[in-house]
Structure 1
Amino acid sequence: MMKIGLNSFHGLQACKHGKGFTLIEILVTMFILAIGLLGLAGLTTEGMKNNQGAYLRTQASILAYDMVDRIRANKDQAAGYQGFSTVGAATKLPSCVSSTSGCTAADRVTADLVEWTRQVQGVGSGVAMLPGGQGRIMFDGTGLIYTITIQWQETGREGDAGEVVAGDNSYTVRFTL
């Protein structure tokens, strides 16, 4: 037979009373878990907004440098590109684009501007690269500097101190020929 000493008996009783969690402990744990999950959801949402903003800035960069390359490729007709805006611009491709003889250098300016407008506005593809996209080409004759600006509509986001970040929906490239 096995003898149970007095110390062993008190140990069994202490173990009996210390089993399991109380309802209060479970509720506190659930509350802490819920707060953590809400914080994680907020971080995920903010991360998705930032990723979308980065995607749109990348698209704007691609569109701006596309026009830079078009102007540089048709350097002799560069003056024809200045002062252009995609707002209200024609989106019908000129006939020289589909012609087997191609476009003259002067016609290429029109074709480039129409193709660029179609890309910025998403005409013909069914998907706009930039929501509410607008493009503008300016020329500063004193410094011989071309400025290409792309703007789009983007959901506002807050900065670190809660202020609304403004001007985050514009991309500008300056270059000379």
Structure 2
Amino acid sequence: MTQSRFQQRPSLRKSRGVTLIEVLVAVLVLSIGLIGLAALQANALQANHSSYMRSQATNLAYDIADRMRTNRQAALSGDYDTAFTDNEGTGGACNPNLSLTGDLADQDLAQWKNAIACTLPAGQASVFRNGDTFTITVRWQEDRIDDDDDDDAPADGYTEVFTTRTEI
């Protein structure tokens, strides 16, 4: 009295559809994981862009500091002092055909502010002198950051600021 294979099959029929449900659950878990991975990648890109902008601001601040060290007497007499305004000579926009006039300090400031306009979105800068100590501040709009808690931030983005102090 051996059992044939045909008699064991009815027990397999009871489990039909279970593997399909398992596959659907696995696909659901996988898709949620992939959505999480995409969100993580988007955050990494945002942080990378912010880091790049901060590096550019740092390089631009050190650029004007080096220019002031080269023209030390003019820097100490206040020729490099400038406030936050639309980039003089550029109208706030990048000008690849910038014409330079004036003395070396005026040319340095025009080139520097044009480089800020070309590199940073809505970039502005100031140089404040106190004796032989200079405070160089560069600010720009970081529109990839959404800061809903800051009521002072402009509607179109968040203002990032980089400040450095140096002695000439």
TM-score (norm 2): 0.75
Deviation at residue 26 of structure 1 after TM alignment: 1.5
Instruction: Please state how far the C-alpha of 1:93 moved relative to its aligned partner.
Output: 2.5
Deviation larger for 75-84 or 55-64: 75-84
Q: Kindly provide the CA deviation profile for residues 92-143 of structure 1, in whole angstroms up to 9, marking residues without a partner as x.
A: 53257xxxxxxxxxx1001101101110112xxxxxx1111111111123xx
Which letter maps to 2:79? G
Please give the residue correspondences for 1:51-90 in structure 2 after superposition, counting only pairs within 5 Å: 51-78=48-75, 79-85=78-84, 87-90=86-89
- Which residue in the other structure is 2:105 paired with? 109
Letter in 2 for 1:140: N
Shift of 1:76: 1.3
What do you get for the CA RMSD once the two structures are aligned? 3.1
Match of 1:26 in 2: 23
The letter for the 2-side match of 1:156 is I
Moved over 3 A (4+): 12-21, 83-86
1:140 maps to which residue?
130
C-alpha spacing 1:163/1:83, structure 2 compared with 1 (3 Å): closer
Contact 1:133 1:153 survives alignment (8 Å): yes
Please identify the structure whose Cα radius of gyration is greater. 1
1:120 is the counterpart of 2:120: no
Task: Could you tell me which runs of 5 or more consecutive residues in structure 2 were left unpaired when the two chains were aligned.
Answer: 91-97
| Alpha-carbon separation, structure 2, partners of 1:22 and 1:135 | 64
Tell me the amino acid that sits aligned with residue 139 of structure 1: R
| Structure 1: segments with no counterpart, 5+ residues | 97-106, 123-128
Is contact 2:139–2:161 with CA below 8 Å preserved after alignment?
A: yes
Counterpart of 2:162? 171
TM, length-normalised to structure 1: 0.71
Percent identical residues: 34
Residue-by-residue CA offset, 1:51-83 (whole Å, 9 max, x unaligned): 000000011011100000000000011121023
Q: Give 1:169 deviation, angstroms.
A: 1.3
Residue 100 of structure 2: which of 88, 94, 101 is its match? 94
Alignment partners' CA distance in 1, 2:89 and 2:43: 37
Instruction: Give the C-alpha shift of residue 90 in structure 1.
Output: 1.9
